[in-house]
Amino acid sequence: MLESYVTHLECSLTGKRYAAGEIHGLSDAGRPLLVRYDLDALAREVSRDSVAASTAPGFWRYAPFLPVRHAENRISLGEVMTPLLPLRRSAAGLGALPDRVLVKDEGRLPTGSFKARGLCLAVSMAKELGLQHLAIPTNGNAGAAMAAYASRAGLRSTVLCPDDTPDINIREIQAQGGETWMVNGLINDCGRLVGEGKARFHWFDVSTLKEPYRIEGKKTMGYELAEQLGWKLPDVIFYPTGGGTGLIGMWKAFAELKAMGWIDGPMPRMVAVQASGCAPIVKAWEAGDEHAPVWQDAHTVAAGIRVPVAVGDFLIIRAVRESGGFCMALDDDVIMATRDRIAQEEGLLLCPEGAATAAACARALKEGLISDADSVVLWNCATGLKYPLPPVDRHLDCHADNPLDALAPA
Protein backbone atom coordinates (compact mmCIF):
# COMPACT_ATOMS: atom_id res chain seq x y z
CA MET A 1 0.00 0.00 0.00
CA LEU A 2 1.16 3.51 -0.80
CA GLU A 3 1.35 6.15 1.86
CA SER A 4 -1.75 8.34 1.50
CA TYR A 5 -1.67 11.95 2.52
CA VAL A 6 -5.37 12.56 1.84
CA THR A 7 -7.13 13.98 4.88
CA HIS A 8 -10.66 14.60 3.59
CA LEU A 9 -12.75 15.97 0.76
CA GLU A 10 -14.28 19.43 0.87
CA CYS A 11 -17.19 21.19 -0.84
CA SER A 12 -15.71 23.87 -3.08
CA LEU A 13 -18.58 26.23 -2.26
CA THR A 14 -19.44 25.70 1.42
CA GLY A 15 -16.28 24.09 2.81
CA LYS A 16 -18.23 21.17 4.27
CA ARG A 17 -15.96 18.18 4.90
CA TYR A 18 -16.53 14.67 3.54
CA ALA A 19 -14.76 11.45 4.47
CA ALA A 20 -11.98 10.18 2.22
CA GLY A 21 -12.07 6.63 0.89
CA GLU A 22 -15.81 6.67 0.16
CA ILE A 23 -17.79 7.06 -3.08
CA HIS A 24 -18.74 10.68 -3.70
CA GLY A 25 -20.27 12.70 -6.52
CA LEU A 26 -21.19 16.35 -6.00
CA SER A 27 -21.47 17.84 -2.53
CA ASP A 28 -24.80 18.30 -0.76
CA ALA A 29 -24.77 21.83 -2.19
CA GLY A 30 -24.52 20.41 -5.72
CA ARG A 31 -20.97 21.65 -6.20
CA PRO A 32 -17.61 19.96 -6.91
CA LEU A 33 -15.68 18.27 -4.12
CA LEU A 34 -11.98 18.98 -3.74
CA VAL A 35 -9.47 16.47 -2.32
CA ARG A 36 -7.41 17.86 0.55
CA TYR A 37 -4.00 16.64 1.74
CA ASP A 38 -1.72 16.91 4.75
CA LEU A 39 0.62 19.31 2.99
CA ASP A 40 2.83 19.75 6.07
CA ALA A 41 3.54 16.01 6.11
CA LEU A 42 4.10 16.00 2.36
CA ALA A 43 6.61 18.85 2.69
CA ARG A 44 8.47 16.92 5.40
CA GLU A 45 8.47 13.49 3.80
CA VAL A 46 8.55 14.06 0.02
CA SER A 47 11.17 16.11 -1.81
CA ARG A 48 11.57 17.50 -5.28
CA ASP A 49 14.61 15.24 -5.67
CA SER A 50 12.52 12.16 -4.87
CA VAL A 51 10.01 13.17 -7.53
CA ALA A 52 12.83 13.65 -10.06
CA ALA A 53 14.18 10.19 -9.20
CA SER A 54 10.82 8.46 -9.68
CA THR A 55 10.66 5.74 -12.33
CA ALA A 56 6.85 5.84 -12.50
CA PRO A 57 5.41 6.68 -15.95
CA GLY A 58 4.45 10.28 -16.67
CA PHE A 59 2.26 11.96 -14.08
CA TRP A 60 2.34 8.93 -11.75
CA ARG A 61 5.67 10.36 -10.59
CA TYR A 62 3.44 12.64 -8.47
CA ALA A 63 1.70 9.69 -6.76
CA PRO A 64 2.22 11.08 -3.22
CA PHE A 65 0.11 14.09 -4.23
CA LEU A 66 -2.68 11.92 -5.63
CA PRO A 67 -5.47 9.99 -3.87
CA VAL A 68 -4.85 6.42 -5.13
CA ARG A 69 -3.65 4.36 -2.15
CA HIS A 70 -2.99 0.93 -3.70
CA ALA A 71 -0.32 0.63 -6.40
CA GLU A 72 -2.28 -2.07 -8.24
CA ASN A 73 -5.06 0.46 -8.85
CA ARG A 74 -2.80 2.90 -10.67
CA ILE A 75 -4.07 2.34 -14.20
CA SER A 76 -1.54 3.24 -16.88
CA LEU A 77 -1.39 3.31 -20.66
CA GLY A 78 2.22 4.53 -20.75
CA GLU A 79 1.80 8.21 -19.87
CA VAL A 80 4.66 10.58 -20.69
CA MET A 81 5.83 13.98 -19.53
CA THR A 82 4.56 16.12 -22.39
CA PRO A 83 7.04 18.51 -24.02
CA LEU A 84 7.26 22.28 -23.86
CA LEU A 85 7.93 23.52 -27.39
CA PRO A 86 9.04 27.12 -28.04
CA LEU A 87 7.38 29.01 -30.88
CA ARG A 88 10.24 30.50 -32.87
CA ARG A 89 9.12 31.34 -36.39
CA SER A 90 5.51 31.96 -35.30
CA ALA A 91 6.37 34.18 -32.34
CA ALA A 92 6.77 37.29 -34.47
CA GLY A 93 3.37 36.75 -36.04
CA LEU A 94 1.85 36.63 -32.58
CA GLY A 95 3.69 39.80 -31.58
CA ALA A 96 5.95 37.98 -29.11
CA LEU A 97 9.70 37.68 -28.69
CA PRO A 98 11.34 34.42 -29.79
CA ASP A 99 11.28 31.63 -27.16
CA ARG A 100 9.04 33.62 -24.79
CA VAL A 101 5.99 31.58 -25.85
CA LEU A 102 5.98 27.84 -25.13
CA VAL A 103 3.39 25.28 -26.16
CA LYS A 104 2.65 22.46 -23.73
CA ASP A 105 1.74 19.69 -26.17
CA GLU A 106 -0.67 17.34 -24.42
CA GLY A 107 -1.41 15.50 -27.66
CA ARG A 108 1.47 13.14 -26.77
CA LEU A 109 -0.55 11.48 -23.98
CA PRO A 110 -2.47 8.19 -24.39
CA THR A 111 -5.62 8.66 -26.49
CA GLY A 112 -4.04 11.85 -27.85
CA SER A 113 -5.31 14.43 -25.37
CA PHE A 114 -4.98 15.90 -21.89
CA LYS A 115 -8.22 14.15 -20.96
CA ALA A 116 -5.99 11.14 -20.26
CA ARG A 117 -4.81 12.79 -17.06
CA GLY A 118 -8.21 13.35 -15.47
CA LEU A 119 -9.83 10.15 -16.68
CA CYS A 120 -6.84 8.03 -15.68
CA LEU A 121 -7.28 9.25 -12.09
CA ALA A 122 -11.06 8.96 -12.18
CA VAL A 123 -10.89 5.38 -13.45
CA SER A 124 -8.11 4.44 -11.02
CA MET A 125 -10.19 5.70 -8.10
CA ALA A 126 -13.29 4.00 -9.49
CA LYS A 127 -11.41 0.71 -9.43
CA GLU A 128 -10.11 1.39 -5.92
CA LEU A 129 -13.62 2.17 -4.68
CA GLY A 130 -15.11 -0.96 -6.27
CA LEU A 131 -17.19 0.69 -9.01
CA GLN A 132 -18.06 -1.44 -12.04
CA HIS A 133 -19.77 0.70 -14.70
CA LEU A 134 -18.83 4.28 -15.59
CA ALA A 135 -20.74 6.73 -17.79
CA ILE A 136 -19.77 10.08 -19.26
CA PRO A 137 -21.07 12.80 -21.60
CA THR A 138 -18.39 13.97 -24.00
CA ASN A 139 -17.51 16.18 -26.95
CA GLY A 140 -15.00 13.51 -27.93
CA ASN A 141 -11.67 13.37 -26.13
CA ALA A 142 -12.94 12.72 -22.60
CA GLY A 143 -15.05 9.83 -23.82
CA ALA A 144 -12.10 8.31 -25.64
CA ALA A 145 -9.89 8.57 -22.56
CA MET A 146 -12.56 7.12 -20.28
CA ALA A 147 -13.26 4.21 -22.61
CA ALA A 148 -9.57 3.36 -22.96
CA TYR A 149 -8.72 3.53 -19.26
CA ALA A 150 -11.92 1.73 -18.24
CA SER A 151 -11.10 -1.11 -20.64
CA ARG A 152 -7.58 -1.22 -19.24
CA ALA A 153 -9.03 -1.47 -15.73
CA GLY A 154 -11.60 -4.11 -16.66
CA LEU A 155 -14.56 -1.79 -16.08
CA ARG A 156 -17.62 -1.16 -18.26
CA SER A 157 -18.11 2.25 -19.84
CA THR A 158 -21.04 3.99 -21.49
CA VAL A 159 -20.41 7.18 -23.48
CA LEU A 160 -22.99 9.70 -24.75
CA CYS A 161 -21.83 12.32 -27.24
CA PRO A 162 -23.50 14.95 -29.43
CA ASP A 163 -24.21 13.53 -32.88
CA ASP A 164 -21.98 16.17 -34.51
CA THR A 165 -18.93 15.13 -32.47
CA PRO A 166 -15.94 14.65 -34.83
CA ASP A 167 -16.33 11.24 -36.43
CA ILE A 168 -12.82 10.11 -35.50
CA ASN A 169 -13.65 10.66 -31.83
CA ILE A 170 -16.86 8.64 -32.01
CA ARG A 171 -15.11 5.74 -33.74
CA GLU A 172 -12.19 5.90 -31.31
CA ILE A 173 -14.49 5.69 -28.28
CA GLN A 174 -16.29 2.63 -29.58
CA ALA A 175 -13.09 0.95 -30.77
CA GLN A 176 -11.62 1.26 -27.28
CA GLY A 177 -14.51 -0.49 -25.60
CA GLY A 178 -16.97 2.27 -24.80
CA GLU A 179 -20.65 1.56 -25.39
CA THR A 180 -21.16 4.62 -27.59
CA TRP A 181 -24.40 6.51 -28.21
CA MET A 182 -24.88 9.65 -30.31
CA VAL A 183 -27.41 12.19 -29.02
CA ASN A 184 -29.26 14.85 -31.03
CA GLY A 185 -28.24 17.63 -28.65
CA LEU A 186 -25.26 19.29 -26.96
CA ILE A 187 -22.99 17.99 -24.19
CA ASN A 188 -25.29 19.34 -21.46
CA ASP A 189 -28.12 17.28 -22.98
CA CYS A 190 -25.85 14.24 -22.87
CA GLY A 191 -25.01 15.09 -19.27
CA ARG A 192 -28.68 15.23 -18.35
CA LEU A 193 -29.22 11.76 -19.80
CA VAL A 194 -26.20 10.37 -17.97
CA GLY A 195 -27.61 11.80 -14.74
CA GLU A 196 -30.99 10.18 -15.40
CA GLY A 197 -29.32 6.85 -16.15
CA LYS A 198 -27.47 6.61 -12.84
CA ALA A 199 -30.35 5.15 -10.87
CA ARG A 200 -31.81 3.12 -13.73
CA PHE A 201 -28.64 1.45 -14.97
CA HIS A 202 -26.38 1.77 -11.89
CA TRP A 203 -23.84 3.88 -13.73
CA PHE A 204 -21.34 6.04 -11.88
CA ASP A 205 -21.27 9.53 -13.41
CA VAL A 206 -17.77 10.76 -14.24
CA SER A 207 -18.93 14.00 -15.87
CA THR A 208 -16.65 17.02 -15.57
CA LEU A 209 -16.38 18.01 -11.89
CA LYS A 210 -19.27 15.73 -10.84
CA GLU A 211 -16.78 13.38 -9.18
CA PRO A 212 -13.70 14.53 -7.23
CA TYR A 213 -10.80 12.89 -9.02
CA ARG A 214 -10.62 14.24 -12.56
CA ILE A 215 -9.39 17.49 -10.98
CA GLU A 216 -6.61 15.52 -9.26
CA GLY A 217 -5.48 14.10 -12.57
CA LYS A 218 -5.61 17.47 -14.29
CA LYS A 219 -3.67 19.16 -11.48
CA THR A 220 -0.64 17.10 -12.52
CA MET A 221 -0.32 19.58 -15.40
CA GLY A 222 0.64 22.17 -12.81
CA TYR A 223 3.16 19.92 -11.06
CA GLU A 224 4.68 18.85 -14.36
CA LEU A 225 4.93 22.39 -15.69
CA ALA A 226 6.62 23.61 -12.52
CA GLU A 227 9.12 20.74 -12.61
CA GLN A 228 9.92 21.29 -16.29
CA LEU A 229 10.61 24.98 -15.64
CA GLY A 230 12.94 24.28 -12.70
CA TRP A 231 10.19 24.79 -10.10
CA LYS A 232 9.45 28.23 -11.47
CA LEU A 233 6.16 29.29 -13.02
CA PRO A 234 5.52 31.30 -16.19
CA ASP A 235 4.06 34.79 -16.13
CA VAL A 236 0.92 33.85 -18.08
CA ILE A 237 -0.95 30.64 -18.91
CA PHE A 238 -3.53 30.54 -21.72
CA TYR A 239 -5.92 27.64 -21.23
CA PRO A 240 -8.76 26.43 -23.53
CA THR A 241 -11.78 26.40 -21.25
CA GLY A 242 -14.91 24.29 -21.54
CA GLY A 243 -15.69 22.60 -18.23
CA GLY A 244 -12.48 24.11 -16.88
CA THR A 245 -11.19 21.10 -14.92
CA GLY A 246 -7.62 21.72 -16.02
CA LEU A 247 -7.56 25.40 -15.13
CA ILE A 248 -9.07 24.63 -11.73
CA GLY A 249 -6.70 21.72 -11.25
CA MET A 250 -3.59 23.73 -12.14
CA TRP A 251 -4.58 26.52 -9.78
CA LYS A 252 -5.02 23.90 -7.03
CA ALA A 253 -1.60 22.43 -7.86
CA PHE A 254 0.11 25.81 -7.65
CA ALA A 255 -1.51 26.49 -4.26
CA GLU A 256 -0.33 23.09 -2.97
CA LEU A 257 3.21 23.65 -4.26
CA LYS A 258 3.37 27.07 -2.68
CA ALA A 259 2.03 25.79 0.66
CA MET A 260 4.80 23.17 0.69
CA GLY A 261 7.48 25.72 -0.16
CA TRP A 262 8.33 24.07 -3.47
CA ILE A 263 7.73 27.28 -5.44
CA ASP A 264 7.88 30.95 -4.56
CA GLY A 265 7.33 34.22 -6.35
CA PRO A 266 4.15 35.38 -8.10
CA MET A 267 1.58 32.98 -9.45
CA PRO A 268 0.88 32.92 -13.21
CA ARG A 269 -1.94 35.00 -14.59
CA MET A 270 -4.53 32.47 -15.72
CA VAL A 271 -6.36 33.22 -18.97
CA ALA A 272 -9.54 31.29 -19.78
CA VAL A 273 -9.93 31.04 -23.56
CA GLN A 274 -13.27 30.25 -25.21
CA ALA A 275 -14.84 30.47 -28.67
CA SER A 276 -17.16 33.35 -29.53
CA GLY A 277 -19.93 30.86 -30.34
CA CYS A 278 -19.82 29.39 -26.82
CA ALA A 279 -18.39 31.77 -24.23
CA PRO A 280 -20.39 31.53 -20.97
CA ILE A 281 -17.32 31.97 -18.75
CA VAL A 282 -16.18 35.04 -20.68
CA LYS A 283 -19.65 36.57 -20.44
CA ALA A 284 -19.88 35.97 -16.67
CA TRP A 285 -16.37 37.32 -16.09
CA GLU A 286 -17.06 40.47 -18.09
CA ALA A 287 -20.31 41.00 -16.14
CA GLY A 288 -18.52 40.62 -12.80
CA ASP A 289 -20.46 37.45 -11.97
CA GLU A 290 -19.26 34.12 -10.58
CA HIS A 291 -21.89 31.93 -12.19
CA ALA A 292 -22.66 31.65 -15.89
CA PRO A 293 -26.13 30.86 -17.27
CA VAL A 294 -26.53 28.30 -20.05
CA TRP A 295 -25.16 29.60 -23.36
CA GLN A 296 -27.84 29.34 -26.01
CA ASP A 297 -27.16 28.03 -29.52
CA ALA A 298 -23.60 26.96 -28.67
CA HIS A 299 -21.46 26.42 -31.75
CA THR A 300 -17.74 26.35 -32.60
CA VAL A 301 -15.27 24.28 -34.61
CA ALA A 302 -13.35 23.81 -31.35
CA ALA A 303 -15.60 20.98 -30.15
CA GLY A 304 -13.73 20.48 -26.88
CA ILE A 305 -14.71 23.91 -25.57
CA ARG A 306 -18.31 23.79 -26.75
CA VAL A 307 -19.64 23.50 -23.20
CA PRO A 308 -22.78 25.65 -22.71
CA VAL A 309 -22.76 25.40 -18.90
CA ALA A 310 -20.09 24.40 -16.36
CA VAL A 311 -20.80 23.18 -12.82
CA GLY A 312 -17.44 24.63 -11.75
CA ASP A 313 -17.96 28.05 -13.36
CA PHE A 314 -17.30 29.91 -10.10
CA LEU A 315 -14.04 28.02 -9.54
CA ILE A 316 -12.79 28.97 -13.00
CA ILE A 317 -13.69 32.63 -12.55
CA ARG A 318 -12.22 32.77 -9.04
CA ALA A 319 -8.92 31.37 -10.28
CA VAL A 320 -8.81 33.90 -13.11
CA ARG A 321 -9.56 36.80 -10.76
CA GLU A 322 -7.24 35.66 -7.96
CA SER A 323 -4.41 35.33 -10.45
CA GLY A 324 -4.96 38.74 -12.03
CA GLY A 325 -5.80 37.05 -15.32
CA PHE A 326 -8.64 37.54 -17.76
CA CYS A 327 -11.06 35.73 -20.09
CA MET A 328 -11.22 36.01 -23.85
CA ALA A 329 -13.32 34.62 -26.70
CA LEU A 330 -12.12 34.17 -30.30
CA ASP A 331 -13.98 33.77 -33.57
CA ASP A 332 -13.69 30.42 -35.33
CA ASP A 333 -12.07 31.90 -38.45
CA VAL A 334 -9.30 33.44 -36.34
CA ILE A 335 -8.78 30.15 -34.49
CA MET A 336 -8.46 28.12 -37.67
CA ALA A 337 -6.23 30.66 -39.44
CA THR A 338 -3.93 30.55 -36.40
CA ARG A 339 -3.88 26.75 -36.47
CA ASP A 340 -2.94 26.69 -40.15
CA ARG A 341 -0.23 29.34 -39.81
CA ILE A 342 1.51 27.66 -36.86
CA ALA A 343 1.36 24.26 -38.59
CA GLN A 344 3.04 25.70 -41.68
CA GLU A 345 5.62 27.77 -39.80
CA GLU A 346 6.48 25.43 -36.93
CA GLY A 347 5.45 21.95 -38.06
CA LEU A 348 3.28 21.82 -34.95
CA LEU A 349 -0.30 20.74 -35.65
CA LEU A 350 -2.43 22.23 -32.89
CA CYS A 351 -5.98 21.15 -32.22
CA PRO A 352 -8.52 23.98 -32.66
CA GLU A 353 -8.76 24.45 -28.88
CA GLY A 354 -4.98 24.79 -28.65
CA ALA A 355 -4.97 27.18 -31.59
CA ALA A 356 -7.50 29.29 -29.71
CA THR A 357 -4.91 29.88 -26.98
CA ALA A 358 -2.37 31.06 -29.55
CA ALA A 359 -4.94 33.39 -31.11
CA ALA A 360 -5.78 34.72 -27.65
CA CYS A 361 -2.10 35.31 -26.92
CA ALA A 362 -1.74 37.33 -30.13
CA ARG A 363 -4.77 39.44 -29.29
CA ALA A 364 -3.63 39.94 -25.69
CA LEU A 365 -0.24 41.17 -26.89
CA LYS A 366 -1.86 43.52 -29.41
CA GLU A 367 -4.22 44.94 -26.78
CA GLY A 368 -1.47 45.33 -24.17
CA LEU A 369 -3.01 42.82 -21.76
CA ILE A 370 0.35 41.06 -21.60
CA SER A 371 3.89 42.15 -22.50
CA ASP A 372 6.18 40.66 -25.13
CA ALA A 373 8.67 40.15 -22.29
CA ASP A 374 6.23 37.90 -20.39
CA SER A 375 6.94 34.19 -20.32
CA VAL A 376 3.84 32.50 -21.72
CA VAL A 377 2.62 28.90 -21.86
CA LEU A 378 -0.13 27.91 -24.29
CA TRP A 379 -1.99 24.68 -23.67
CA ASN A 380 -2.45 22.45 -26.72
CA CYS A 381 -4.92 19.98 -25.29
CA ALA A 382 -4.97 17.35 -28.07
CA THR A 383 -3.34 16.20 -31.24
CA GLY A 384 -4.58 18.07 -34.27
CA LEU A 385 -4.93 14.75 -36.10
CA LYS A 386 -8.28 14.19 -34.37
CA TYR A 387 -9.91 17.06 -36.24
CA PRO A 388 -10.86 17.71 -39.89
CA LEU A 389 -7.94 19.05 -41.91
CA PRO A 390 -7.90 21.18 -45.07
CA PRO A 391 -8.53 19.13 -48.25
CA VAL A 392 -5.75 18.33 -50.69
CA ASP A 393 -6.89 18.71 -54.31
CA ARG A 394 -3.72 18.81 -56.44
CA HIS A 395 -3.04 15.76 -58.61
CA LEU A 396 -0.25 14.57 -60.89
CA ASP A 397 -0.76 12.23 -63.83
CA CYS A 398 2.24 9.90 -63.68
CA HIS A 399 1.42 8.62 -67.18
CA ALA A 400 1.63 12.04 -68.84
CA ASP A 401 4.61 12.85 -71.05
CA ASN A 402 5.93 15.44 -68.62
CA PRO A 403 4.02 15.02 -65.35
CA LEU A 404 6.25 17.47 -63.42
CA ASP A 405 5.28 20.32 -65.76
CA ALA A 406 2.28 20.82 -63.46
CA LEU A 407 4.65 21.82 -60.66
CA ALA A 408 6.40 24.56 -62.66
CA PRO A 409 5.59 28.18 -61.76
CA ALA A 410 2.94 29.74 -63.97
Give which of 152, 118, 113 is closest to 136, Cα–Cα: 118
Run of H or E residues at 360: helix 352-366
* Coil, strand or helix at 337: helix
- Is 50 exceeded by the pLDDT of residue 225? yes
Run of H or E residues at 215: helix 213-228
C-beta separation of 106 from 379 below 8 A: yes
pLDDT digits (tens, 9 = 90+) for 40-57: 999 999 999 999 999 998
pLDDT at 18: 97
CATH of the domain at 237: 3.40.50.1100
- Is 60 exceeded by the pLDDT of residue 90? yes
pLDDT digits (tens, 9 = 90+) for 185-198: 999 999 999 999 99
pLDDT at 1: 43
Please give the average per-residue pLDDT across 242-269, as a whole number.
95
- Is 90 exceeded by the pLDDT of residue 98? no
pLDDT at 3: 66
- Is 80 exceeded by the pLDDT of residue 2? no
pLDDT digits (tens, 9 = 90+) for 342-398: 999 999 999 999 999 999 999 999 999 999 999 999 999 999 999 988 899 989 999
Burial readout 206-220 (b: 16 or more C-beta within 10 A, e: otherwise): bbbbbbbbbbbbbbb
Is there a domain that residue 287 lies in?
yes
Is there a domain that residue 224 lies in?
yes
pLDDT at 351: 96
- Is 90 exceeded by the pLDDT of residue 134? yes
Is there a domain that residue 404 lies in?
no
CA 124 to chain centroid: 18
Please give the average per-residue pLDDT across 70-85, as a whole number.
96
pLDDT digits (tens, 9 = 90+) for 276-331: 999 999 999 999 999 999 999 999 999 889 999 988 999 999 999 999 999 999 99
Give which of 319, 378, 296, 306 is closest to 94, Cα–Cα: 378
Is there a domain that residue 291 lies in?
yes
Question: What percent of the chain shows pLDDT beyond 90?
Answer: 90
**Cα–Cα distance between 333 and 335 in angstroms, integer?**
5
**Cα–Cα distance between 65 and 247 in angstroms, integer?**
17
Is there a domain that residue 171 lies in?
no
Q: Taking all residues of the chain, what is their mean pLDDT, rounded to a whole number? A: 95
Quickly state the pLDDT bin for 130 (edges 50, 70, 90): very high
C-beta separation of 176 from 147 below 8 A: yes
Is there a domain that residue 19 lies in?
no
Domain hosting 338: range is 84-112+213-386
Give which of 336, 221, 207, 365 is closest to 275, Cα–Cα: 336
* Coil, strand or helix at 118: helix
231 compared with 97, residue with greater pLDDT: 231
Phi-psi region of 165 (alpha: psi -120 to 50; beta: other; left: phi over 0): beta
Name residues whose C-beta falls within 8 Å of residue 24's C-beta, 6 or more positions apart in sequence.
Answer: 9, 18, 33, 211, 212
1 compared with 284, residue with greater pLDDT: 284
Quickly state the pLDDT bin for 97 (edges 50, 70, 90): confident
The total number of structural domains that make up the chain: 1
C-beta separation of 363 from 384 below 8 A: no
Kindly list the distances between the CA atom of residue 241 and the CA atoms of 158, 168, 248, 256, in Å, as whole numbers in the listed order.
Answer: 24, 22, 10, 22
Please give the average per-residue pLDDT across 208-227, as a whole number.
96
Is there a domain that residue 356 lies in?
yes
**Cα–Cα distance between 353 and 344 in angstroms, integer?**
17
What crossing angle do the helices spanning 245-259 and 213-228 adopt, rounded to 10°?
Answer: 60
Give which of 205, 150, 158 is closest to 25, Cα–Cα: 205
Quickly state the pLDDT bin for 199 (edges 50, 70, 90): confident
Is there a domain that residue 237 lies in?
yes
Please give the average per-residue pLDDT across 132-139, as a whole number.
95
pLDDT digits (tens, 9 = 90+) for 200-215: 999 999 998 999 999 9
**Cα–Cα distance between 64 and 2 in angstroms, integer?**
8
**Cα–Cα distance between 260 and 105 in angstroms, integer?**
27
**Cα–Cα distance between 137 and 169 in angstroms, integer?**
13
**Cα–Cα distance between 394 and 210 in angstroms, integer?**
48
Please give the average per-residue pLDDT across 11-21, as a whole number.
96
User: Could you tell me how many residues make up the chain?
Assistant: 410
Sign of the alpha-carbon dihedral angle for 112, 88, 253, 293: negative
pLDDT at 4: 85
Strand-pair partners of 216: none
